[in-house]
A and B are shown apart, each in its own frame.
Chain A
Amino acid sequence: MASRPDPTATVTAFDPFTLEIVKQRLRVIAEEMFIAQGRSSMSPIIYEVLDYACAITDAGARLVAQANGVAGFLGALTFAVDDVLAKFGLDGLEPGDVVATNIPYQGGGSHLSDVTTVMPLFFEGEIRAFAVNKAHWTEIGGKDPGSMTNDSVDIFQEGVQLPCIKLFERGEPVAALIDILEANVRTPDSTLGDLYAQAAALPDAQRRLDELCCDVGVAAVDRAISDIFDEGERRARAALATIPKGTFRARDEVEDDGMGTGPTPVEVEITITDERFTIDFSGTGPQARGSINCTRVALMAGMRIMFMALATPQVSANDGVFRLLEVICPSGTIFTAQRPAPTSTYWETRLVAGDVVWQALAKALPDRLTAGQYLSVCSQVMRTRHPESGELALLVEPNAGGWGAGSDKDGESGLFCMSNGKTYVLSTEVAETRYDVEVERYGFDVIPGGEGRHRGGRGLERSYRMRSEGSVTASFGRSVKGAWAVAGGRAGTPNYVEVRFADGRPPVKAGKVTRVPLERGDLVRLVTGTGGGWGDPLERPRERVLADLRAGLISSADAERVYGQKDVYGQKGVEP
């Protein structure tokens, strides 16, 4: 048996092979946490949709490696570790402590439903790293089932706030706090299940770090971490060198918040130099009365995603990558709302922040950026019941839609929005088994929009027929104007929710619906938009128009009217 290195020995030189293995093992820690959490969660939004993320940071809260379901959480986790360090310090933490936060204005950074937990990772009595994960809990209390709503006017209506507090001390849950959580949420089994699943993933990281430190020694681990950062920065710098320098601007607006605020103007000025990528949102309008407010941490996380997409799509996220990024925005804007602003549908606004950056750069970076996408998480909370037990069940899910066309390709159809990333749709089978609904249609929505030399990807329609009483709350942003197009392409289509009532009342159709009561037989149509087109539709080759027709992605009327194709009837596979 090979002798192991003294874990505390100070070593200055490492062979590159060992270092590479250590770096990969650090990344694997985050991946393993991710899998452990997914396997032990009780909520479909975690184990099916993957609305969560895991990471490890160094002892200074710098991101080492991250495993994502939700891209929107990318780079968001380090801020929670910052908070933990600011509040407790390295001296105020013990092995086995688990600190929780969901405060939007601080490290929680999104809305109360997203709970971040942080565990200090010790080796030889010293904190060497932090394990951190963030997940969407189906229920965290508040005035509406599912905790997300459109008509909250302060944070106190949106659920229980966990203000960076120790939920576990030295590995033991704090009974008083667990009891409070159990009492204050509507689905205590599922919520506590989510908490325990999340907390269970953290000690995995401790175990793996112990093994790693024992195998190679602390010095090698430290060196590997600083290598990861340096490599991240080096690659980001190299990538920055390949994109055009200069100042780019765009303006847009955040739609009405449903509570009388807005539309709210947003502005961005992006300055790219060899050294720095600066995004300045000065000039953006003030925070809104309704729940669409985004906070600084969410904005930072959003900009980290944009920066990754633009500058370094091939590199895995770490602190070094973000060293060149600078984000400027005054406090109190709709992107940087202050306590006690409501934030439960914050993503609508954060997506606009990402999108306006995208707009500013799309023409300058045609090889990286497409035309506009449907741009909303398009999430709903449907109150229904479990078909067998009859217990309260909340169907919470994001909905996929159409992405914009690129300069050289059609847009992707039926993909989650940019803040969602690698999440999955809730399969129709799971939906029908867990909730008292029937999925009546799940298909592309074929209406005019998004045409171009390259056309936008298609949005989707997902329709639920209620099998018993319930209600629906949904926020489908970009419900007024469709996704933006480039170079003569046509704009995409808006997102919307339509409720058709079985008793023949006029339907409700809107971008935001709040607690609409549902009866058995009512139909809830969740419709997402088509992405924007790129280039003049008349330049689209005839054979591609015919292929779209055959695939049922456009109508023959549009083939003639928008694409200028005559005599499409009778073509192979095209029905009159």
Chain B
Amino acid sequence: MITSYRSTSKWLAVLPVVAMLTFVVAPTLNIFIISLNFESFAILTAQTTRSVVWFTMWQAIISTILVLLFAMPIAAMTANFDFFGRRALISVISVPFILPTVVVGVAFLEILPTRIHQSAFAIIIAHIYFNFGLVVRIISSRWQQINPHLDDVARTLGASKIRLFVTVTLPLLKNSLRSAGILVFLMCFTSYGVIRILGGPARSTIETEIYFRAMQLGDVSGALVLSILQLVVVGVLILLTTQFGTTKSAELSQMVFSRIRKPQTPGQIVLITSVASISTFVVVMPLVSVVRRSILIGQKINFSIWQSIFTDEEISKSLTTSLKYAVFTIVVSTTIGLFGACSIIYGSARYRFLNLLTALPVVVSAVTLGLGLIITFDVNPIDWRGAWLMMPIAHCLVAIPIVMRIISPTIRDLPNGLRDASQTLGATTWQMWRTIDLRIIKPALMSAAAVACAVSLGEFGASSFLVRRNNETLPLMISRLLGRPGEIIQAQAYAIATLLIVACVAIIGLVDHLGTEKNR
């Protein structure tokens, strides 16, 4: 709690609370109320549902294990060695995570042989690609905080490098490995865009099944029951994360050590060069293939598609819609996220409920969020199904938990002594907030705004439910164009995906640049 701002906490909480109650809690409760009849629950015993649940579960488990295995060597390298291009490598491997899932799907359609399209293998590969950069970041940042003298102590006590890793490093990384693992599992369990593009009709997860039942079969009550099933699984997992994820991590984060050193032996140099080159190639290759496909028609290079991208009325309209929604998401989610984060940190312990409330969009999942909104706001006087605002509101709901988690650590870590100093130098509460808090959290706020922009540009799950004739966004357009025959149309989809890749690369560059500024 920050005494100077304590009285403002309740006012700051109003906007996030109203937004979450109206657009997340009410629609979710509505899903429960509407599905509360035993007949609807019969779907849970159907063979199709059982196989969908089983597939959702096993592909998520396998994807998570493989992501952790692939991420560990790169995390070890970036946490322990200072080499040329280290920062650039971290930025490059982070790009897939903020890419729209549809674009990742499209990229793997392009690089994988046609015979393994619509297979579990394709889905798992795409999930590894999408998530491993995030895991590297989480584990590497924790690894850097491990006191290097502990390594020395273990070595002098007779531990080999492997024993050192197993008996010292791994136990100290346990919490971050668990958090990263659960996060990846959640991302894969609720994966939608990748499955829609790479799964085809044979490979359905709970998330795609919800969409399929509600929008294609018209079985809304079946979709609602599946939403509840998913909600329960995700809710239990999030509870587990909060139960077990806190021990010792705070203690570690308070320490600052420099364990990063220059590679010394030729072996280390060769290993680092190889791992860095392979990781860069693995990240860049699918993206380059998307760009390549956007300029290839009939195996010949042709830039006419790119001309059409900027002249085609339909595409221009989608581009404008996506940009308009991105601006809306940046402004609204950053404001609500900032208010929420400040309210929790400035206020007493009773404001911590906001942490849970604002995390709800993650628990509920984007598709369920879209379904909830569509079934709740469809009766007078709140018949907003046709309102353009519903889709950007959904984008904001998906972005708010992320925005809050980017801003919160900076506000929490701001030494209270700076505020005291400001007050004794004559600053009022507002002047103090403006000249100290806001100035110091500005880089984090800008990073949050950039990530909110990426979330909006790539949002696909909730948007699939809320799309109307006049508000198709770029990911929705890619998905629609891919479903139509014709090389030119397909190339258009790849050109739009290229635009989104460029936007995401720029966003990661900006976020990492701001991060460097902040840490200076």
A and B from one assembly?
Answer: no
Which residues from chain A sit less than 8 Å from chain B, CB to CB?
A: none
